[in-house]
Structure 1
Amino acid sequence: MPRPPKTLQPERSPADWFGAELRYWREKRELTQRELAQRVWVSMSLIGRIETADRECSPDLAWRLDEVLDTGGVLARAQGLVTATRKVESSETDKTASASTGHVAGTGEPSMLEGVERRDFLRTATAGLAVSPLLALSSPFQDTLCPHQVRAVDIAQVREAAAVFSGWDHTYGGQVARAAVAGQLRAAADLLHAPCPHRLRGEAFSAVAQLFMVAGFMAFDAYAHDDARRLFAFAAECAEEAGDWHLRAKIYSHRARQAVWCADPDQGITYAELGLVRSERLSAAEKAMLHTARARAYAKTGLRTETLRAVGEADAAFAAPTAVEPPSWMAYYDAAQHAGDTAHALWDLAVAGVHPPDGALRRLEEAVGGHTDAYARSRAISAIKLASLHLHGRNVEEGLATATRALDDVGRVRSRRAEDDLRELHALLNRTPEVDGADAVSARITRALEGTCP
């Protein structure tokens, strides 16, 4: 049975009153915490913590809550009082804390960065937070309060945020989800400035690494490549500090894919091989993912033999039994994802005319058929590649049918990578002999691309 909601005490403080008011309006609109969280693009735990006055609501979130709940602006007006009160309380508390040792008065707990030079470690983050357009936060986020002590619930919230944003990214693409992640990045980075029990230290670094990794891939998908490089670099440092080999491998896989996309396949190979260091600590899916990154890099250089060898190593790794269980966030790398990723390497060889297209066609069909709606972006990209390969092979009718299915997904997704693949398909279609239905597909692609960046 679900636990009854916690009894609120709105008379205790402005924050408690705000939380009670939020619960009142949420229940009045017959929404669960999860349903409301999805509508305002935050985690369910954050809604719960605001309702119980364990977390302050930002002005931006208060405005979104008012809009979704149709309160007439009650929450946005009340939020200013909450912030002002919390600042006074924070100032008084700070006077009792040690200013020189990095410990919270009375806790005896070490700093999060015990054994790490704080200034050097955070240099990457500071640069990114200061100059990155993604993280040039508007004034409502500037007043985010650094926690006085890192708790397990803070770490859980960062992980939940990473999972939520990753889900949006897979379904809708990085351009849609990217704007929502900025405030969570600031809050996550603040954890690294707060005192933390030693037992939570690794978990805290790992959670921050995961969120920054997700944000980095969003930036990559939106072609904000400088942002992505900074976010990935910081995520990698946090993963190294946490000793999290799974996250480390995933981050280097992302860095390899970005390097390949940015026409630097040599760097892509380097990143993939860095990810494979101590591969005995990785799951089968993680090793396959990194070998696939190598294959895609080799394919971009036109190295047929090396590409095929890397694809074979990826297939062998994916099929091999392993005692290492993958983390939950690797669940996306299933048979459909593996087929699609390896197919992209074979696609380059087929289009270059140095390898038959059969393998790429078969794998792309498996990817398109295997991806669920939760991975609409991957399905769309694989379908566009499949349609293009059919057109390259003069199998025009099949290409048009596949393109039509891809366009159904593209309408849900905002991804610069998908848009570029669609432009390539459109150009190829314009060079294809006229057949029935070609004009209709071409017109749909034009409409899909309207309003997107060139």
Structure 2
Amino acid sequence: MPQPEKELTPDASPQEWFGAELRYWRKRKPGLRAAQLGPMVQVSPSVISKIEKGAYRCHSELAARLDDVLETGGVLVRAWGMVFGDADKKRGDADNAASSPVEGTIQVRHGRILGRDPSPHSGSPASVDRRQFLAAGSLAAIAPKDLANLVAPAAPPELPKKITPREIEQLHHAADVLHLADNTHGGGGLVSVMASRTMEWAVRLLSVRCPDQLQIAFLSAIARLGIVVGASHFDAYAHDDARVAFKVASECATEAGDWHLRAKTYSFLARQAIWINDPDSGLTYADTGLVRSERLTATERAMLHSARARAFGKMHDVPGTIAAVGQADEAFAHSNPAEDPPWMAYYDEAQHAGDTAHALYEIAVHMRQDPGQAGRRFETAVAGHGDSFKRSRAISRIKLASLVMAKGDPMQAVAIGHAALDDVGLLTSRRAADDLRELGRFSAQHRGLEAAVELRQRIRGTLQA
């Protein structure tokens, strides 16, 4: 009989905190033991146990392999930089007290600590003459890390002396640009970099003096940006970063007394929790967002009831799902875009149909409920989403294909699946990728159908591209 795992003491030292982080992420993989994880990352089984107990110093390459296997979104490499990277730097500084000064770079917030550079490899090279460096050889001869430091600003941009309407307008413009990029391309790649740097700038602005008459508008602008950035990180599975952005958003919205932005923040916190298989927390977030619902517009209430429906669906609670979908539909029937904040314009008929379809999908596939309702709503979502919401359209198409593959005509599902893959294109959405994997699993149930086999091969090729 397996021995119970030793209780960890993450507060005892930074190394033991790192071990507790590793155990947390390992246990998110149901049934994965330390002895099994070791060979998966090319170390002996005992090494994992020792790292978790704070008795072994993890190296950076192992932290990167652990991130890949446990699908953390880079959390352990960032933690490594905070725990071990700083220690290495201090030792290096002590050994090289007379070394040349280093150039500064913009510190991008990743992980749990605002303003902290997360990467163990983020130190800039020694100060150099940039023109002489670039003249030394071809671009191919320059290490990408060194080149990145050469083109980066030498220091973070100087903060303004006080907040003016100009800064507030810039925050709104940044949120607009990121929102469009995220919905069109997904939250990964360059969009992720833009989101991180923009959020870091916004958080730094919080330390700047703001005149009383601009305080509410300023906090609301940061709240809205935090929602957009959090949504982008969520799509890229940078879940810790997303939670921090949403936390900043909720605090700023609450301080500003902006119930609309507060509701939107809790809607996204609910969606994220449900997606990572924590529907109970998702339901709590959605219910929290509905507090003082009389202050919200009908569209916002529909948005939050849709989140509740998705939580119940993930729980496989059929009565709860159907009731919450009914409440969402009732609220949406009274939707009046003229009453909504401008940034709620995304929640139109297509968005509502897609959100409620996701809830009904869960009970149709797993609880043998009628798939017709979910299918019709996905069709409405696909038809209603334009190219500006390519990711939402692609995800709805993928889920519709999975629903039909599991419950209907597989040949029809194949056709829908190919249309979905056409839509996916160059999306960087990890949510869309996971939904494609699910479609591939449903397609595998029809091994004797050549068209289904070809769809699986195309899915595999798309995911590997």
Same fold (TM over 0.5): yes
Residue 457 of structure 2 is aligned to residue 443 of structure 1 = yes
CA 1:226–1:131: 2 relative to 1, 3 Å: farther
**1:292 alignment partner in structure 2:** 306
Matched to 1:401, the amino acid is A
The one of 288, 294, 297 aligned to 1:280: 294
Shift of 1:201: 0.4
Residue 114 of structure 2 is aligned to residue 128 of structure 1 = yes
Q: Distance in 2 between matches of 1:218 and 1:232?
A: 11
The 8 Å contact of residues 161 and 184 in structure 1, kept in 2 or not, is answered as yes
Shift of 1:184: 1.8
Deviates more, 1:433-442 or 1:357-366: 433-442
Residue 144 of structure 2 is aligned to residue 158 of structure 1 = no
Secondary structure at the counterpart of residue 347 of structure 1: helix
Deviates more, 1:358-367 or 1:348-357: 348-357
**2:215 alignment partner in structure 1:** 201
CA 1:228–1:325: 2 relative to 1, 3 Å: same
Shift of 1:212: 1.4
Please list the CA deviations of residues 55-103 of structure 1 after superposition, one character each: whole Å capped at 9, or x if unmatched.
xxxxxxxxxxxxxxxxxxxxxxxxxxxxx9xxxxxxxxxxxxxxxxxxx
**1:365 alignment partner in structure 2:** 379
Q: What pairs up with 1:207-226 in 2 under 5 angstroms?
A: 207-226=221-240
Residue 261 of structure 2 is aligned to residue 247 of structure 1 = yes
Please list the CA deviations of residues 100-136 of structure 1 after superposition, one character each: whole Å capped at 9, or x if unmatched.
xxxxxxxxxxxxxxxxxxxxxxxx9992332667xx8
Deviates more, 1:241-250 or 1:316-325: 316-325
Matched to 1:335, the amino acid is E
Q: Distance in 2 between matches of 1:141 and 1:291?
A: 48
**1:311 alignment partner in structure 2:** 325
Q: Distance in 2 between matches of 1:142 and 1:230?
A: 24
Q: Distance in 2 between matches of 1:416 and 1:357?
A: 25
Shift of 1:443: 2.2
Q: Distance in 2 between matches of 1:430 and 1:294?
A: 32
Count matched residues: 328
Q: What pairs up with 1:32-431 in 2 under 5 angstroms?
A: 127-130=113-116, 140=153, 142-176=155-189, 177-320=191-334, 325-431=339-445
Matched to 2:271, the amino acid is R
CA 1:317–1:143: 2 relative to 1, 3 Å: same
Shift of 1:436: 4.7
Shift of 1:444: 1.7
Matched to 1:178, the amino acid is S
Please list the CA deviations of residues 220-243 of structure 1 after superposition, one character each: whole Å capped at 9, or x if unmatched.
111111111111111110111111
Instruction: State TM-score, norm by structure 1.
Output: 0.69
Matched to 2:302, the amino acid is A
Q: Distance in 1 between matches of 2:154 and 2:296?
A: 37
Instruction: State TM-score, norm by structure 2.
Output: 0.67
Please list the CA deviations of residues 264-296 of structure 1 after superposition, one character each: whole Å capped at 9, or x if unmatched.
111101100111111112112111010000000
Secondary structure at the counterpart of residue 116 of structure 2: helix
CA 1:218–1:323: 2 relative to 1, 3 Å: closer
Matched to 1:130, the amino acid is R
The 8 Å contact of residues 443 and 453 in structure 2, kept in 1 or not, is answered as no
Q: Distance in 2 between matches of 1:168 and 1:204?
A: 23
Matched to 1:333, the amino acid is Y
Please list the CA deviations of residues 349-395 of structure 1 after superposition, one character each: whole Å capped at 9, or x if unmatched.
00013421110011011111111011010011110000001011141
Deviates more, 1:385-394 or 1:184-193: 184-193
**2:49 alignment partner in structure 1:** none
Q: Distance in 1 between matches of 2:422 and 2:154?
A: 37
The gaps in structure 2 that reach 5 residues or longer are: 1-103, 105-109, 124-148
Matched to 1:442, the amino acid is R
Shift of 1:181: 2.1
The 8 Å contact of residues 339 and 367 in structure 1, kept in 2 or not, is answered as yes
Shift of 1:437: 2.8
The 8 Å contact of residues 112 and 240 in structure 2, kept in 1 or not, is answered as no
Matched to 1:292, the amino acid is S
Matched to 2:444, the amino acid is N
Q: Distance in 1 between matches of 2:353 and 2:291?
A: 24
CA 1:436–1:247: 2 relative to 1, 3 Å: same
* Aligned residues with identical type, % of pairs: 47
Q: Distance in 1 between matches of 2:272 and 2:301?
A: 18
Q: What pairs up with 1:8-27 in 2 under 5 angstroms?
A: none
Shift of 1:433: 4.5
Pairwise CA RMSD:
2.3
Shift of 1:320: 1.5
Runs of 4+ in 1 over 6 A off after TM superposition: 136-139
CA 1:126–1:156: 2 relative to 1, 3 Å: farther
Q: Distance in 2 between matches of 1:141 and 1:269?
A: 46
Q: Distance in 2 between matches of 1:308 and 1:288?
A: 14
Q: Distance in 2 between matches of 1:236 and 1:131?
A: 24
Secondary structure at the counterpart of residue 174 of structure 1: coil
The gaps in structure 1 that reach 5 residues or longer are: 1-83, 85-123
Deviates more, 1:276-285 or 1:416-425: 276-285
Secondary structure at the counterpart of residue 181 of structure 1: helix
Q: Distance in 2 between matches of 1:441 and 1:183?
A: 38
